[in-house]
Amino acid sequence: MNRVPPFGVGTFRLQGQVVVDSVRNAIELGYRAIDTAQIYRNEAEVGEAIAASGIARDELFVTTKIWVDNYAKSKLVPSLKESLAKLRTDYVDLTLIHWPAPDNGVPLEEFVAALADAKAQGLTHEIGVSNFNIEQTQRAIAVAGQGEIATNQIELSPYLQNRKLARFLQDEDIAVTSYMTLAYGKVLADPVIGEIARRHDSTPAQVALAWAMQLGYSVIPSSTKRENLASNLLAQQLRLTDDDMAQIATLERNGREVSPAGLAPVWD
């Protein structure tokens, strides 16, 4: 069972009143999953928007991510408590390790154990990882226990289909959460995606998001425009044909957009 909602709103790169407005608009439009992170420096604004929404806390699914500076056992839980204070909540639904950061001096086993402890304390209902390769995910499973890693949030788009890692995760019953599904907007100008969109009377963004969801992945697109948030939400109703899916499968080009030195793993 996928313990991560299939559709949510992301807040990467959104700051100040912009993120307050984006999250407020998303919730008003019907979004119930919201993704943030300590390094986004917008947890307080996300919390403000959630508090002002009037939606009951148990109807929302809030995700945050622990930043690499807080991976040490002595820092992880206190940093998550700070995140909860900013978000104005007693718990988050999902907490992720943001990057494996193999060079930062804290062993993977230490920070995954600390994350599991945060769950045991009730600070987070689910735990997971982000940007982990297969070997690192296997090590996380070994520490946290089989069935404990709810998701691996990874860059994934029609241009970076990450099939080997995605297949491994699905075999392990770990949800694949796709970020940057639109490849910084690059796939929106793709002629193949554009033609599929025309056939379905939809938008290229809806096609890319529907493609990911049809493969069983969760998506968390962000937007500062209310009309785009509304449009993205309609991707949930779009059903692509087998031929559409086969055409998109040909777009793979290993088009990775994000791979920060010192934080990223050796990619599969």
Nearest-angstrom CA–CA distance, 117 and 123: 9
Nearest-angstrom CA–CA distance, 34 and 46: 8
**Coil vs helix vs strand at 44:** helix
Asked whether the beta carbons of 2 and 218 are under 8 A apart, the reply is: yes
Q: Which residues are within 8 A (CB) of 130 and not within 5 positions of it... i.e. 6 or more apart? A: 65, 96, 97, 98, 99, 152, 153, 154, 177
Q: Which residues are within 8 A (CB) of 82 and not within 5 positions of it... i.e. 6 or more apart? A: none
Share in percent of the chain as helix, strand, coil (round to 5): 50, 15, 35
241's tokens? 């044909």
> Does residue 125 have a known ligand-binding role?
no
Q: Which residues are part of the catalytic machinery? A: 40
Q: Counting beta carbons within 10 angstroms of the beta carbon of residue 84, is it exposed (0 to 12), middle (13 to 18) or buried (19 or more)?
A: buried
Binding residues for substrate: 98
